[in-house]
Amino acid sequence: MTYYEIKQQIASGNPVIAWVIGNVWNGSPVSYTSESGNTTTVARYEHTVIVIGYDAYGVTVVDGNMVYWRAKANFLNSFSVLGNMAVYHP
């Protein structure tokens, strides 16, 4: 998903589950190949958060029992490590 699509879903009342690194940290993607030959991208501290809000400067996320805000650039950096993966339910 793009950042714009995430904002659209939030504005429509749909929280978005986004794959990030740790508590929205920087990270590095790694290509992993299983014994069966399937390859996927993984990262140390791969994690999901629920994006519930945004403002002009960043996003608000629910992460377990924590709710916190992250700057847009920090979120996008962490979100991009795993290919901007996200899901939502309308």
d(CA 77, CA 61): 15
Q: Above 90 in pLDDT, residue 90?
A: no
Specify the fold of 3-88: Cathepsin B; Chain A (3.90.70)
* Counts of helices then strands in the chain (DSSP H, E): 2, 7
Task: Tell me the pLDDT tens digit for each residue of 6-60.
Answer: 999 999 999 999 999 999 999 999 999 999 999 999 999 999 999 999 999 999 9
The pLDDT of residue 29 is: 96
Backbone phi, then psi, for 60, in 5-degree steps? -110, 130
Query: What H or E segment, with its residue span, contains residue 41?
Result: strand 39-42
Locate 53 and state its tokens. Answer: 């809000």
Domain chopping of the chain, boundaries: 3-88
